[in-house]
Amino acid sequence: MTKRQRKIRFTEFLVIGLAMGVVEDMIAILLATDTKLSWHVFLVAFSVALPFAFISEYVVDHPRFWEFLYGGDGK
């Protein structure tokens, strides 16, 4: 896999992970509180979802993550 393909794959999964995280956080905020949907609530959800999406894509999806985690070949 070339560097360009890795960057495209990373970006695709980051965007999808970020979108899913924001939607999940918005649902949780709306169900758990009596707040109305606003840009401020969206920005809070986005701010919470961004680091988790980045960590998920950059760390967990790294080809050698499971090898590092379990100290073997990942099987």
pLDDT digits (tens, 9 = 90+) for 31-42: 999 999 999 999
The pLDDT of 37-66, averaged and rounded, is 86
- Mind giving me the DSSP string for 53-75? HHHIIIIITSTTHHHHHHSSS--
Please tell me the predicted confidence (pLDDT) of residue 11.
87
In a domain, 49, yes or no: yes
What total number of domains does the chain contain? 1
Task: Classify each residue of 22-44 as buried b or exposed e, where b means 16 or more C-beta atoms within 10 Å of its C-beta.
Answer: beebbeebeeeeeeeeeeebeeb
Average of per-residue pLDDT values in the chain:
86
Full domain range(s) for residue 14:
3-70
Residue 31 and residue 74: Cα distance in Å, rounded? Answer: 39
Instruction: Identify which has the larger pLDDT, 9 or 25.
Output: 25
In a domain, 55, yes or no: yes
Q: What's 2's DSSP letter?
A: -
Please tell me the predicted confidence (pLDDT) of residue 43.
95
In a domain, 75, yes or no: no
